[in-house]
Chains A and B, each alone.
Chain A
Amino acid sequence: MDQTPVPVPADEDGALTKLHPNYSHALRVRATLTAIPFLVGALVLEGAFRGEGLFPSGVIAGPVLLIALALIIRIPQTRYNARGYQMGADRLRVVRGLLFRSDTVVPFGRVQHIDVHQGPLDRFFGIATLTLHTAGNHNASVALPGLGEELARAMREDIRAHIRRETQ
C-alpha cells in the first residue's frame, strides 16, 4: 500500500508493485454479478425441459454452475496476480493481461490529464482506478484499476507535481 516513488528510472526487471488486495475481491464480486444472469437463464431452461424427460436434470445448469464457480473463485486471483504497476521517478509502468500480456510505460511528461475514477463497487472496497490520458492514438488512455483510494490520489498528485515541475 505505502508506495514511495523509486528514485532511479524504473527498470524492466524491477519488481512490480501489487495492487490493493481488495481489488481481487472486487473482481470476484463483479464476476459473480456477471454470472448471475447466466445461472438464472440456465435454471429457467432446466425448468422448461423438466417435464420433457429428454435428459437428466442438471445437464444445463451443472456445467454453467461449474464454469461460473471457476470464474468466481479461481480467475480473479489469477488476474490479480497478473496485474501490477511500477511507479518510477518520471514514468508509470502498467502490466496486465493473462493470455495477452501488455506492458505499457507512460512518461509523466506526456500525460495530458489524469482521472481518478470510483464506481459504487470500488467505493465499497475502498479502491480506485487511475487513468492517464496521453495524446497518442494508441494508448490514448492507460487505466490502472485496483489502487487504494488514497494511493490513487497521492499518485495523481505526484504525477501532477511532476508535470508542473517540467513545464516551469
Chain B
Amino acid sequence: MSDPRNTAPLSVIIGALGAIRSAVLPAIAIAFSGIGGEGRYLVAIGVGVAATVIGVAISYANWRRLTYTISETDIRVESGVLSRAARSVPFERIQDVSLEAKPLPRLLGLVSVKFETGAGGADDLALEYLTKGEGEALRQLVRERREDEAAAASAADPATPARPAAEDEGDVLFAMGPGRLLTFGLFEFSLAVFAVLGGVLQYVDNVTSVDIWDVDLWYGWLKEQGSTVATLGPYAQALGAVAGLVGLLVVGSATGVVRTFLRDWGFTLTRSARGFRRQRGLFTRTDVVMPVHRVQGLVIGTGLLRYRFGWRSLSFVSLAQDAESESHVVAPFAQMDEIAPIVRAAGFRLPGDATAWRRASTRHRTDKAVLDSAFFLAATIPVAIFAPPGLFLIPLGLAVLAAGANLYAWEFRRHAIDDRQVYASHGFLSPTQSIATRLNLHSVEIRQGPLARLRGYATVHLGLAGGSFAMHGVPIAEARALRAAVMETITATDFSRLDAPAANPAPDQAFSSAQPGFSENFLAT
C-alpha cells in the first residue's frame, strides 16, 4: 500500500486533448493569415501536429512523474518533471474528501479527488485523475486511516465506542427532483445572460466588420423600428413595452432554470455512519463527504422573494471550503420542515418556542436610523439650494426610507443563547439565521465604537472555525453576561468528557475539529 502509485493512465488522454485544443486555434490562425503564402496550410498543419505531439509528450511525462503514496499516517503526492514538488498531508488534517467529475473525465470514467485541509484554495491536495473506483476506494481508505489513527491515539480510553465496520449507503436526507429544481430555478432569476450577450457582441465586433459601437448604426436601426412602432398607436406601444418586460422576465427565469439544472441536477444529500454526503451536477458531477463532527455551525439563508414562499437554504460551516463559497450548501432550496431533519442529523437544534430571543438595544436601533438617514438629510440641503425646486424631496424621501427600514430591521436583529447553542438572526427582507454550538467557539470579543460606548451597546464577535458569527447592538451588560456564559462552557468542558459515549453525539464531537492536533478527539465519529 505504501508504494508510490500513478494516477489513471487515461488522464494522459485528457491532458492530450487539452493540448490539442490549445493547438487548434493557432493552427487556424496561421491557416487564415497570410504567412507563408501557398504553403501556409502545410505550416498550419505542421504547427498543429507539433503542438499536439509536444502537448501529449508533456502530458505523458507529467503523468509518469506524478505519484501518490499512501502511508500509515499521511498521503504524499510527488509531481513535476524538471522541478519536483512533494506534498504530504496527514490523514488527521484532512477535513473531507471530494470527488469531482467534469464532463470529459466523466465520459472516460475518471474523477479528480480533492483533499480538503482547511488551508484554503490552491493549498489543498488534488489528484487528477483517478478511475471512479479508485477514487471511491481512496476516500474510504483515508477515512479508515483517519479513524485508525484516532483509535490508536485513544486506545487507552475504554469508553471507545465500537465503530460500525462497513460503510452503509445511508438514508437520503434531502433530494431535489426536476419539479423542485424548476421552482428553484425560477427564483434564481438572473440577467447574467445579457452580460454574456454583451461579451459575444464584443467578440463579433472584433471578428467581423460590424462595428457594434457605431451609434449611427443603432440609431438608424432604432429609427427604423421606432417608425414602425410609431405607426402602431399608443396601445400597441404599451403592449410592446409589456411584451419587452415579459421577454426580459422569461429570459432571466430561463437563465436561472438552466443554471440551476446544470449545478444542482440530481441533488442528493445522504446521511451515513461517516457523515453527510452530497452529490450534484448535470455535466460536472461532484461528490462531497463531510464528517458530522466537522460541522461547526449552520447558516439558514433565504432570498427576498423566496422567503415569502417559505423557501430557505441550509449551509454547513466548516473549515473545508466549497467550490465558490466558504460553507457547504446542503439544502439549497427547501422548506423549513425539510431542513429540520438535516439540522437534527447534524446534531444541532433549531430555535423553537423555548428559545429566548433577545432584541438588539433600542439605542442601537435609534443610532443606526439617525446615522443612516443623516447621510441623505445632508444631501438634501445642497439639493434644496441648487437643484430645481421639488428635487430635494428625493433625498428627503430616501432619508425617511432609510430611517423606516432601520426601525423595521431592528425587529429582525435578534440573538439568543441556550444551554448548548448560540443563535443570531438579521435582515428584514430576507432574514438569515446562524446557529453555532457554544463548545465550538474559539474566542469572544466585545467591540465598541465611540458611539456604542457612549450609548452602552456592543458587537459581540464569536470566533467560529470556517465562518463568522456576530451579534450586533447587544446591550453591554448582556454582552458581558453572554461572554461569561460562553466562556464557562468552553473552559468547563474537560477534553476527556468530549469523547464520552455517543448519547449526544454531534455537539461534543464537533469540538474535535477545533483541536485537530489533539487527536484523541478523533474517534469522535
Contact = CB atoms under 8 A, between A and B. Distances in A.
Interface of A: 9, 12, 90-91, 99-110, 112, 134-140, 142, 166-167
Contacts of B483: 12, 105
B21 interface: no
B491 A104 contact: no
8 contacts: A102-B448, A103-B448, A110-B441, A137-B468, A139-B445, A166-B494, A166-B495, A167-B518
Nearest to A89: B491
B463 interface: yes
A102 B444 CA distance: 10
Contacts of A9: 487-488, 491
Interface in B483-525: 483-484, 487-488, 490-491, 493-495, 513-518, 520
Interface of B: 319, 441-450, 453, 461-470, 480, 483-484, 487-488, 490-491, 493-495, 513-518, 520
B443 A102 contact: no
B480 A139 contact: no
B487 A100 contact: no
A102 B447 contact: yes
A99 B447 CA distance: 10
Given A100-B450, A137-B466, A139-B443, 4 more contacts: A102-B445, A136-B462, A137-B465, A139-B463
Contacts of B319: 135
B26 to A, nearest CB: 45
Contacts, number: 103
B119 to A, nearest CB: 12
Contacts of B443: 104-107, 110, 134, 136, 138-139, 142
A91 B444 CA distance: 11
Contact of A135 (B447, B465, B495): B465
A118 B484 CA distance: 32
Contacts of B484: 12
A107 B515 CA distance: 13
Nearest to B481: A12
Contacts of A135: 319, 442, 463, 465, 513-516
A134 B463 contact: yes
Nearest to B463: A136
A114 to B, nearest CB: 13
A101 B450 CA distance: 8
Given A100-B450, A136-B442, A138-B445, A107 B487 contact: yes
Contacts of B515: 109-110, 112, 135, 167
A99 B518 contact: no
A138 B462 CA distance: 7
A5 B458 CA distance: 28
Nearest to A113: B517
Nearest to A92: B443
A95 to B, nearest CB: 9
B169 to A, nearest CB: 32
A42 to B, nearest CB: 29
B27 to A, nearest CB: 48
Contacts of A167: 495, 515, 518, 520
Contacts of A103: 445-448
Nearest to B517: A112
A139 B464 CA distance: 9
A38 B514 CA distance: 46
Nearest to B464: A136
B186 to A, nearest CB: 34
A109 B465 contact: no
B464 A99 contact: no
Given A100-B448, A100-B449, A139 B442 contact: yes
Given A101-B447, A102-B445, A104-B443, A136 B490 contact: no
A101 B487 CA distance: 20
A142 B444 CA distance: 11
B448 A109 contact: no
Contact of B463 (A91, A102, A138, A166): A138
A105 B442 contact: no
A142 B461 CA distance: 13
**Which of B443, B465, B469, B493 has the most chain A CB atoms closer than 10 A to its own CB?**
B443
B193 to A, nearest CB: 35
Contacts of A104: 443-446
Nearest to B467: A137
In the A-B complex, the 6 residue pairs with the smallest Cβ-Cβ separation, listed nearest first, are: A136-B463, A136-B442, A134-B442, A104-B445, A135-B465, A110-B442
B450 to A, nearest CB: 5
Given A9-B491, A137-B463, A166-B495, A102 B446 contact: yes
A90 B491 CA distance: 7
A1 B390 CA distance: 67
B123 to A, nearest CB: 16
B447 A136 contact: no
Contacts of B450: 99-100
B442 A101 contact: no
Contacts of B520: 167
Contacts of B495: 109, 166-167
A167 B494 CA distance: 9
A106 B487 CA distance: 9
Given A100-B449, A110-B443, A138 B469 contact: yes
Given A101-B448, A102-B446, A104-B443, A137 B487 contact: no
A101 B520 CA distance: 38
A31 B515 CA distance: 39
A107 B490 contact: yes
A9 B484 CA distance: 10
Contacts of A138: 443, 445, 461-464, 468-470
